[in-house]
Amino acid sequence: MALTELLGALPLVSSGMPKFQVAAIYLAIGFVSWYIISSTTAWYRLKAFPGPPTTGFSNFWAARAVWTGKTRKIFPETQEKYGPITRIGPNALMVCDAATVVNINGVRGGYARPKDFYDCIRMDPWDQTVLSETDSAMHNERKTKVYAGYQGKGEMDLEKDVNMVVSEAVELVRTKYMHSATSGPKPPLDYTRIARHIAVDAVTQTGFGKAWGDVREEKDHFGWLGFADMAVGYVHTLAYIPAISKIVLSKPLMALLGPKPTDKTGMGAYLGLIEREVARRYKDGEAKGRPIKADTGRSSMLDEWVKHGVTQRTAVLEVSAQLPAGTDTTASALQGTMLYLLSTPSAYSRLKSEIATGIREGRISSPITDQEARKLPYLQAVLNEGIRMMPPLMNGFPRQVPPEGDTICGKFVPGGTDIFVNYIALLQDKSVFGEDAHMFRPERYLEGDEEHRNRLFKTTDLAFSHGRWRCLGQKLAWLQLQKVTVEFMRNFDMQIVDPMHPCNLRCHCTPEMDDLMVRITEARLD
């Protein structure tokens, strides 16, 4: 039967209503019916898991929590109310259990990345990177090729690259912000800003072989940080609403409105910059695929990737993913650690003392090396405690339960369910970290027997994920954490300008901190 004949047989047509209006009404009725049926089915599928009332029917509760920038507060409170496995959407559960994190990220666990979510974090709307690839085989292939670069293998020297950036930061602070008897008053330092500049320069220095110069010039080159501040809330909120993200990220809409390398501003301009920089580093014609060395003469991640068979297009994609993956996450760890140190006099003094003793005994070079830093027990305790209190990801990217389902926290979870990790609740678990888990107290990592200490360190290490999905940039991030913390502590004494309101903090997914203003004076290492 033709559509017009079908509509003509419907009761509404007899009222004289135009057929296009009748069609619209029945389409609306069909949509509502579909929504009710699909929502009821989704609710029933995970009805055994408690959560906020609307989460069984809609993703908007979780999306709203992300949009507010208060996930650091909302998700832990929700988890505390509803239990270790909480429903946050029609097909989404959130956990705060260390054993589950290990299981869902294990090589043989069978968990995958849900495509709808990871498509939202692509830097290039047309292609995947190791950060967003959802096909497990392709992800493993990509990771194998880029792994050597992230680990500083071959002709790279990650430490030397990070040393250059940190030394520039120390010199800038000493020259422009440090009070002394002869210099007179100096402006306070926005530590949050310089931490972000350090992270950007460290990534571009190691990735391209040449830093953008954010630290030296105190400038947000190419507007990257401004773009990140503008976009991150939208991106992470959209990722929690698959029905909308599929439309927004559809190829027709991206072709019309998406970023293009020829754009003058925003994401497109950034992608264009990456394309030009990578192209400059490849020879044309017969030598294509063999990079030109960076201006420093040393190898960079880009050079190492080419050695391992990374094509020019793939190199563009992977370089484009470095900044979002490795800047604000590292910066938030630098910021959070320093905030808690400056707010905890006992920890501040004890770390100062450990550094002073190491310098006197010749165990700390200038700048400190990775090996030297790892032999300073209180420094390692401070850095782990900083990561625990301010993890790089608050509400981790999801994994999808394999088709056969799995048992999580004692309950069977159907296949295809998205599992999110509540890292704040996980890293403040009193059964692991003690009754004072909500407090910054680095000493906890030095107490008890070896088995107890190892459990604390291993649980904290989950902040960088686990197994095949483990953060590739952890080594670079840890180098920055160690070197920045020690070099700033050995060179300067720092004081929060406004202890009643030390900074502004928001969190959509990664903590974002602004305006941690500190007064700088010359260090006294007694």
The contacts of residue 412 (CB under 8 Å, 6+ apart) are: 405, 406
> What is the rounded end-to-end Cα distance, in angstroms, of the chain?
92
Contact 177, 327 (CB under 8 A): no
Contact 89, 58 (CB under 8 A): yes
64 exposed, middle or buried (CB, 10 Å; 0-12, 13-18, 19+)? middle
The contacts of residue 277 (CB under 8 Å, 6+ apart) are: 208, 319
Helices and strands (H and E) in the chain: how many: 24, 12
Q: Which helix (H) or strand (E) holds 419?
A: strand 418-422
DSSP state of 59: S
Q: Which residue has the tokens 């097909």?
A: 91
Residue 96 annotated in ligand binding: no
| Rounded distance between C-alpha atoms, residue 152 and residue 337, angstroms | 25
| Closest among 257, 260, 266, 188 to 230, alpha carbons compared | 266
Contact 443, 329 (CB under 8 A): no
The contacts of residue 157 (CB under 8 Å, 6+ apart) are: 298
| Closest among 382, 386, 390, 340 to 510, alpha carbons compared | 390
SS (H, E, C) 7-35: HHCCHHHHHCCCHHHHHHHHHHHHHHHHH
From residue 31, how far is each of 36, 37, 236, 267 by CA, in Å? 9, 10, 27, 35
**Ordered DSSP codes for 266-331:** HHHHHHHHHHHHHHHTB--GGGTT-BPPPTTSS--HHHHHHHTT--HHHHHHHHHHHHHHHSHHHH
Burial annotation 83-114 (CB, 10 A radius, 16+ → b, else e): bbbbbbbbbbbbbbbbebbebbbeeebbbbbb
| Rounded distance between C-alpha atoms, residue 220 and residue 196, angstroms | 9
Q: Which residues are annotated as a binding site for heme?
A: 471
Q: Which residues are annotated as a binding site?
A: 471
